Amino acid sequence: MPEKLTFEDQIARNKRQTVVVAAFMLVLLFGVVFAVGYILGTPPYFTLILALIVSSIYIGITWASATSTVLLASQARPVNPSVREEKLLAYRVEEMALSAGLPIPRVYIQDSRDINAFATGLTPDKAIICVTRGALEQLDQEELEGVIAHEMSHIANYDVRLATVTVGVVGAIAMIAEIGLRMLWFGGGRRGGGRDRGGAHPLLIVVAIAGLILAPILSRLTYLFLSRRREYLADATGAKLTRNPEGLAQALEKIKGDLPDDPKGSRTVAGLYIANPWKRVEAASVFATHPPIDERIRRLREM
Amino acid sequence: MAVSWVAIAIIVILILFVLYVISARNRIIRYDNEIDNSWSQIDVQLKRRADLIPNLVETVKGYAAHEKGVLEGVTKARAALMGASTPAEANAADNMLTQALGKLFAVAEAYPDLKANTNFLQLQDELTHTENKVSFSRQHYNDIVLRYNNAVTTFPGTLFASSLGKSRKAMLEIPPADREVPNVRF
């Protein structure tokens, strides 16, 4: 359904959706915790403490390793200012930082023939923008500016942090559900363990078990939904930074026509790239990290 | 009992309201500081831009000395920029300079030797860069001015805007053609 939205509308709408999705993730996490507690008949504070420990460990690990693993996996190197193309790239990044009112990120180059770029760093003052050599060679300055504005928007919108925490929560949900199901399997349940306090309804037990099986899948899909929303948001914020949506639209056209034959990096962070490095022309799918490229172009051209 | 609950509710609401007003007041002051900071950044870029001009004019003279009109236009605009004392004046002078430089770079197209000169190329990159920086800083400046203006002209900001000595600020004029300039030469 075609709808006409300015970038301000799109930004506001995406922010509302993020709040709803993040709330849903928390509901899922707590739902899983209480399902486990219900099935096992453990006291609520015990299950809650278990859940908090598991979640903090997961989020802690993803948090601590976020920037370093991404950079390491991408095999990126800092820009060399004595090469004109790379100097101009650093200039465009500096300009976008001014437009966003943010500190200037460090600029890296990834040695890949594909056209792509990503941003990382949990706070704006530690941010990094990385662009592939293919992007430098094939995009003109206006398109490059659009791509950098998109990445700068990920930084301005704290998307790296959001993705890191969400990946952590998805992991925690999977872990807690797994623990619950295993303990049930090995006879830790309230009926099997003989600790029946008589409060459990058999039907509710079945619902709780089904919930434990479905929650990890549902949380993963929620994460992907969020990732796609944040891509639209970064496109819209990027258009606000350059006041020139056509630059990014043209860059996306080129990306669409460029077959990804040289992907480098970590698959788990595919959502941080401007387009998925492993799969390019994506249909509208609940399993995709990015929205369909044609729809992104259409929305940009409408702004 | 009921009366005391009502009293507590009223007190809580009053406290929340006071906090709300204080934060609105602080926001106005913060935006004002941000505007000053943003302007000083634009100012730095404008100075940097003015500093690059003499070098550029010298380089162009070496190849196209007879393009006097164009060179004078650039020099004049630079002088106006150096002499500007208010943001609005500096902004107008900078727009003039952008136009003059646009003409200069257009003229340079006819001189292959000049275009191949590394010094000229580097100056052109630098000038485009500062020009972009000026225009994006201006855009950011206007964004904050908009937020500031909204804060001082709507409730509760209107309550104390005048006692703080804060009133609406003017946005910087951005000429429509400005956005096109950086892309001309690529």
The pLDDT value recorded for residue A287 is 74
Are A94 and A106 in a shared domain? yes
For range A250-278, the mean pLDDT: 77
Mind telling me how many Å the CA of B28 is from chain A's nearest CA? 18
Question: CA of B156 to nearest chain A CA: how many angstroms apart?
Answer: 23
Residue B132: its chain A contacts at CB < 8 A? 91-92, 95
Asked if the structure places residue B133 within a domain, the reply is yes
Torsion, Cα B50 B51 B56 B57, to 10 degrees, reads 70
| Mean pLDDT, residues A221-248 taken together | 90
Which pLDDT does position A284 carry in this prediction?
64
> Which amino acid appears at position B146 of this protein?
L
**Is the distance from CB of A105 to CB of A97 less than 8 angstroms?**
yes
Closest-CA residue of chain A to B42: A98
Does the beta-carbon distance from A142 to B183 stay under 8 Å?
Answer: yes
| pLDDT band of A199, cuts 50, 70, 90 | low
Nearest alpha carbon to residue A133 among A249, A262, A252, A256 = A262
A284: left (phi over 0), alpha (psi -120 to 50) or beta: beta
Q: Which residues of A touch B183 (CB under 8 A)?
A: 141-142
Q: Is residue A168 part of a domain?
A: yes
Dist CA A119 CA A238 (whole Å) = 13
* Chain B environment of A94 (Cβ under 8 Å): 129, 133
Residue A140 contacts B, CB cutoff 8 Å: yes
**For A149, nearest residue in chain B (alpha carbons):** B136
Nearest to B153 by CA among B172, B144, B166: B166
The rounded distance, in Å, linking the Cα atoms of B33 and A126 is 24
Query: Which of A84, A87, A94 shows the shortest C-beta gap to B133?
Result: A94
What is the per-residue pLDDT for B180? 44
pLDDT of residue B161: 76
Q: pLDDT tens, B6-56?
A: 899 999 999 999 998 888 888 888 899 988 888 888 888 888 888 888 888
Tell me, yes or no, whether A144 lies in a domain: yes
Q: Are residues A101 and A187 in the same domain?
A: no
Per-residue pLDDT tens digits for B124-143: 888 889 888 888 888 888 88
pLDDT attached to residue B1: 60
pLDDT at residue A2 is higher than 50: no
Of A219, A250, A270, which residue constitutes the final position of a domain? A219
Q: Which residues pair with A120 in a beta bridge?
A: A128
Q: Is B179–A243 a contact, with Cβ atoms under 8 angstroms apart?
A: yes
Out of B136, B179, B186, the one facing A98 most closely (by C-beta) is: B136
pLDDT: is A296 or A194 the higher one? A296
Q: Are residues A191 and A233 in the same domain?
A: no
Confidence check: pLDDT of B115 > 70: yes
Average pLDDT rounded to a whole number, residues A251-261:
84
- In chain A, the residue whose alpha carbon lies closest to the alpha carbon of B35 is A101
Q: Report which secondary-structure segment, H or E, holds B120.
A: helix B118-153
The CATH code of the domain that includes A128 is 3.30.2010.10
Q: Are residues A201 and A235 in the same domain?
A: no
Tell me the per-residue pLDDT of A127-168, one tens digit each, with 9 for 90 and over: 999 999 999 999 999 999 999 999 999 988 888 888 888 888
CA neighbor of A62 nearest in space, from A156, A209, A175, A193:
A175
Q: Are residues A239 and A211 in the same domain?
A: no
- Mean per-residue pLDDT of chain A: 83
Judge if A138 and A256 occupy the same domain. Answer: yes
What does the pLDDT read at residue A130? 92
- The pLDDT of residue B173 is above 90: no
3-state helix, strand, coil in chain B (%, to 5): 80, 0, 20
Mode of pairing for the β-strands spanning A128-132 and A106-110: parallel
Q: Is the pLDDT of residue B3 over 70?
A: yes
Under the banding of pLDDT at 50, 70 and 90, the label for residue A113 is confident
Of B50, B48, B43, B56, nearest to B137 by C-alpha is: B43
Same domain, A13 and A153: no
* Mean pLDDT of the B94-112 span: 87
**Of the candidates A128, A151, A129, A147, the residue with the CA atom closest to the CA atom of residue A138:** A147
Q: Assess whether A154 and A164 both reside in one domain.
A: no
Q: Does A55 map to a domain?
A: yes
Q: Contact at 8 Å (CB) between A155 and A161?
A: no
* Residue found by looking up tokens 């594909």 in the block: A114
Classify residue B16: in a domain, yes or no: no
pLDDT at A194 over 50: no
Residue A205's CB is within 10 A of a number of other CB atoms, namely: 17
Better-predicted residue by pLDDT, A152 or B177 = A152
Residue A280 in this model has a pLDDT that exceeds 80:
no
Counted domains in chain B:
1
Of the residues A151, A253, A282, A295, only one is catalytic, namely: A151
The gap from C-alpha A60 to its chain's centroid, in whole angstroms, comes to 17
Q: Does A246 touch chain B (CB under 8 A)?
A: no
Tokens of B89: 């004046």
Task: Show the tokens assigned to B156.
Answer: 């509760």
Domains: count for chain A:
2
CB contact under 8 Å between B179 and A241, yes or no, is: no
Query: Could you tell me if A117 and A194 lie in one domain?
Result: no
Containing structural domain, residue B170: 31-183
Tokens of A170: 């998805």
CB of A94 within 8 Å of a chain B CB? The answer is: yes
Q: Which of A89, A65, A66 is CA-nearest to residue A77?
A: A89
A158: left (phi over 0), alpha (psi -120 to 50) or beta: left
User: Domain limits at A89?
Assistant: 75-159+228-302
A1: nearest Cα among A219, A284, A287, A288? A284
Q: Is A258 exposed, middle or buried (0-12, 13-18, 19+ CB in 10 A)?
A: middle
Q: Report which residue type is found at A252.
A: L
Instruction: Let me know if residue B13 belongs to a domain.
Output: no
| Residues A151 and A242 both lie in one domain | yes
pLDDT on residue B186: 35
| Residue at A136: amino acid letter | L
Q: Is A137 a catalytic residue?
A: no
pLDDT value at residue A198: 52
CA A68, A73, A75, A78 torsion-angle sign: negative
Q: Is residue A1 part of a domain?
A: no
Q: Within an 8 Å CB–CB cutoff, is residue A87 touching chain B? A: yes
The mean pLDDT of B58-64, rounded to a whole number, is: 85
- Identify the three-state secondary structure at position B15: helix
Asked if residue A191 belongs to a domain, the reply is yes
CATH number of B110's domain? 1.20.1440.20
Does the residue A113 lie in any domain? Answer: yes
Distance CA B71, CA B104 (A): 7
A101 touches chain B (CB under 8 A): yes
**Share of chain A residues as helix, strand and coil, in percent rounded to the nearest 5:** 65, 5, 25
Report the gap between the CA of B19 and the closest CA in chain A (Å): 25
- Chain A residues in contact with B182 by the CB 8 A cut-off are 141
Tell me the per-residue pLDDT of A63-109, one tens digit each, with 9 for 90 and over.
877 777 777 777 889 999 999 899 999 999 999 998 888 899 999 99
- How far is B20 from B14, CA to CA, in rounded Å? 10
pLDDT exceeding 90 applies to what percent of chain B? 12
CA distance linking residue B93 with residue B106, whole number of Å: 20
Question: Distance (Å) from the C-alpha of residue B72 to the closest C-alpha of chain A?
Answer: 28
- CB contact at 8 A, A135 and A117: yes
Residue A2 resides in a domain? no
Which among B38, B139, B186 has the least Cβ separation from residue A243? B139
Q: Which of A188, A219, A250 is the last residue of a domain?
A: A219
Looking at the structure, do residues A135 and A88 belong to the same domain, yes or no?
yes
Domain membership flag for residue A152: yes
Residue A108 three-state SS? strand
Backbone angles phi, psi at B174, to 5 degrees: -115, 115
Classify B164 as helix, strand or coil.
Answer: coil
Contact assignment for A142 to B133 by CB distance below 8 Å:
no
The reply to whether B10 falls in a domain is no
Q: Which of residues 32-71 of A touch B (CB under 8 A)?
A: none
Shared-domain flag, residues A202 and A88:
no
Mind listing the pLDDT tens digit for each residue in A12-33?
777 788 888 888 888 888 888 8
Predicted confidence (pLDDT) at residue B98 exceeds the cutoff of 50: yes
Q: pTM for this one?
A: 0.80
Residue of A89, A94, A95 for testing the chain B interface, max B β-carbons within 10 Å = A95
